[in-house]
Each structure stands twice: as structure tokens, then as C-alpha cells.
């Protein structure tokens, strides 16, 4: 580590700052995370911050983009996995991340959206753009699942994706406030056990409905 720092070029020092910023903005929030602490954690020389970023806001936007890359959104387009299972695995991965952090941290989109979006146009737009990318990918999976008969066909994919992603963001608030997985249980039961499943299937007919029931148990 010390060796890496010693051989650092400008670009790798910038990278250290971004990584420290991602960790501190995520765990402490925008206002509580200070440029001084971030720079110190990155091992950057005092006063060197503005060689790399114009402002704390600009660094936070870069950290937000980097955070988006950790959500494995590309897995949502992995055609080798059946669409509903793929969507479910995506949210299970995100759930496991939050559980792994002891029900802390949550999602940086939601955190920045609630804390700083009203006060920074740059970060509000950053959150908006990330939500749009995410929601579009989820909508594509829902559309694909509808064509395969896995999801009820009367739902509008874009409207539904938006609702599901928003429900996820609120579920994280609940999970953090209660420090428990119960909120995730509600999310998986309602989204995969009720909302997306085709209505009016006869009992034992299998398919999407059976998947929904299995989903509830696994939540």
C-alpha cells in the first residue's frame, strides 16, 4: 500500500481520493464527510485537493457515478438468466450489501437525493440521471419477462420499474431505521409475490405464480 502510494502518479492519487470519497460520502453523508478527512484518508498532501477537483460537489458527483458502478446494473441485461430470476438476484445482491454493512449506509442515490439534492443542482441531476439509467434497465427486464409470460402483461414496464426502484429506495430507509431484514421481506413478497405475478392463475398452475410463492419464502 505504502509502495503504491510512493509510485503514484497524479492519476492514481486522484483515484485514491475518489475511493476515500466514495467510502466517506456513503457512510457519513454529504455534509458530514469533509474534504480534509477525505484527502487525509487518501494520503494526499495537504492542500492538493484542488489540483484534482474543482469543489467538494464535483468530487461528490464523481463518487456518485463510481457508486453506481458498484450496483452491478449490467447484470440486469444478462440474457443467460431468466428475467424475473435476474431481477430478483439484482435486489438480493443489493439487500446483501446492506445486511453486510449492518443495515447501515443504504443507497447513495437515496442518501444524496434526500440530503443534498434540494441544495445542489449538480448532485440533484446526478441522482436523477443514475435513477433513470437504473429504472430503464429494470423496465427492460420487466418487458422481457412479460414477453415470456413471467410477469402480468397489463403493467406498463416503465411505470412499474419506476415504482419498484422507488419502493426499493424506501425499503432501505426502513431497513436502516429498524436495523432488520423485515423491510426486505415486505419488498420481495409484494413485488415478486404479488405485483409482478400474473393474476387469476389457477392454484398449482405453476410458472410465474409458483415463482412468486417461492420468492416470498426466500425473502
Interface contacts to a copy of itself, rule CB under 8 A: 27-29, 31-32, 104-106, 109-111, 113-119, 124, 127-128, 131, 154-156, 159-160, 162-163, 165-171, 173-174, 176-179, 182-183, 185-187, 189-191, 194-195, 199-200
Min dist CB 12 to a copy of itself, Å, is: 30
Q: Is 84 exposed, middle or buried (0-12, 13-18, 19+ CB in 10 A)?
A: buried
Query: Which is closer to a copy of itself, CB of 96 or CB of 118?
Result: 118
Min dist CB 89 to a copy of itself, Å, is: 20
CA distance 166 to 187: 11
Min dist CB 41 to a copy of itself, Å, is: 18
Contact criterion met (CB below 8 Å) for 88 and 192: yes
The candidate with the shortest Cα–Cα distance to 196, out of 154, 134, 133, is 154
Min dist CB 75 to a copy of itself, Å, is: 21
Min dist CB 48 to a copy of itself, Å, is: 26
Q: Is 163 exposed, middle or buried (0-12, 13-18, 19+ CB in 10 A)?
A: middle
SS3 150: coil
Contact criterion met (CB below 8 Å) for 64 and 71: no
Query: Which is closer to a copy of itself, CB of 42 or CB of 172?
Result: 172
Query: Which is closer to a copy of itself, CB of 48 or CB of 114?
Result: 114
Query: Which is closer to a copy of itself, CB of 53 or CB of 134?
Result: 134
What sign does the dihedral 214-87-166-101 (CA atoms) show?
Answer: positive
Query: Which is closer to a copy of itself, CB of 13 or CB of 141?
Result: 141
Min dist CB 14 to a copy of itself, Å, is: 26
Contact criterion met (CB below 8 Å) for 145 and 83: yes
Query: Which is closer to a copy of itself, CB of 39 or CB of 160?
Result: 160
21 grid coordinates = 470519497
Amino acid at each position: 500500500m505504502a509502495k503504491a502510494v510512493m509510485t503514484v502518479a497524479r492519476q492514481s492519487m486522484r483515484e485514491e481520493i475518489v475511493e476515500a470519497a466514495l467510502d466517506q460520502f456513503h457512510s457519513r453523508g454529504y455534509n458530514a464527510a469533509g474534504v480534509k478527512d477525505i484527502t487525509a484518508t487518501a494520503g494526499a498532501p495537504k492542500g492538493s485537493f484542488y489540483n484534482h477537483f474543482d469543489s467538494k460537489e464535483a468530487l461528490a458527483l464523481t463518487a456518485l457515478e463510481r457508486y453506481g458502478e458498484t450496483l452491478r446494473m449490467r447484470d440486469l441485461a444478462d440474457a443467460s438468466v431468466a428475467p424475473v430470476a435476474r431481477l430478483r438476484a439484482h435486489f438480493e445482491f443489493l439487500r446483501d450489501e446492506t445486511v453486510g454493512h449492518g443495515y447501515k449506509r443504504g443507497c447513495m442515490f437515496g442518501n444524496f437525493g434526500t440530503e443534498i439534492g434540494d441544495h445542489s443542482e449538480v448532485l440533484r441531476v446526478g441522482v436523477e440521471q443514475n435513477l433513470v439509467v437504473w429504472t430503464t434497465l429494470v423496465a427492460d427486464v420487466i418487458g422481457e419477462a412479460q414477453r415470456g409470460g413471467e410477469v402480468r402483461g397489463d403493467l406498463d414496464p416503465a411505470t412499474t420499474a419506476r415504482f419498484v426502484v422507488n419502493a426499493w429506495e424506501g425499503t432501505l430507509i426502513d431497513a436502516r431505521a429498524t436495523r432488520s431484514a423485515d423491510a426486505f421481506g415486505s419488498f420481495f413478497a409484494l413485488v415478486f409475490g404479488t405485483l409482478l405475478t400474473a393474476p387469476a392463475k389457477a392454484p398449482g398452475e405453476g410458472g410465474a405464480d409458483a415463482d412468486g410463492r417461492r420468492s416470498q419464502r426466500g425473502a
